[in-house]
Amino acid sequence: MSHEPKTDAEARDTVTRLIRDAKICMLTTTTADGRQVSRPMGLQEAEFDGELWFFADADSAKVHQVERNPQVNVAFADQKNNAWVSISGTAEQAYDRAKAEQLWNPLLKAWFPDGLDTPSLTLLRVRASSAEYWNSPNGKVITLLGYAKAAVTGDRPEGGENREVSF
């Protein structure tokens, strides 16, 4: 039997732990013609307090899409730990030099060669409105055995913990 968090605070803590472990996500925005597009992004701040931060190029398609339609989805998949998180929220360009200095990682120079002085450097802030997660902490082998048992018995497989939480 999976453990269901007793409080929203426990569920928010689980979301924080799961996204911290995953680090890389897919940011989904909407184009001017209504298509949804996703691209991989590196999460810059692992302490999740309802906001996610990403470095971006101010002239990029994703920034222009967020300006037109700020509703976004950020999806994390940590296959190693059998955990997934989907966060819905509102994004905005929110450049602040002090915040950029706090979040900067030298690996970002691959995309922003002049570092914090890159002319088009900006930050995207996503304010979460809700999150849903799926977590199977028993591991892949136990999960697969559960699926096999369900196929034989006709019972529904135990999928681990699933919870939606508002922010």
Amino acid at 82: N
What local confidence, expressed as pLDDT, does residue 57 receive? 97
Name the phi and psi angles at 4, rounded to 5.
-95, 125
User: What DSSP letter does each residue of 75-121 carry, written as one string?
Assistant: EEEEGGGTEEEEEEEEEEE---HHHHHHH--GGGGGT-TTGGG-TTE
What local confidence, expressed as pLDDT, does residue 142 receive? 42
Q: Is the whole model's pTM more than 0.85, yes or no?
A: no
Q: CA 21 → CA 16, 17, 79, distances in Å?
A: 9, 6, 10
Domain architecture of the chain: domains with CATH: 8-137 (2.30.110.10)
- Can you give the pLDDT of all 167 residues of the chain as single tens digits? 445 556 888 888 889 889 988 889 999 999 999 999 999 999 886 567 899 999 999 999 999 999 999 999 999 999 888 899 999 999 999 999 999 999 999 999 999 999 999 999 999 999 999 999 998 865 444 444 444 444 555 655 455 778 788 88
Amino acid at 104: W
Q: Which residues pair with 163 in a beta bridge?
A: 133
| Strand duo 51-57 + 121-135: pairing | antiparallel
> 59, 127 in Cβ contact below 8 A?
no
63 sits in the region (left: phi over 0; alpha: psi -120 to 50; else beta) called alpha
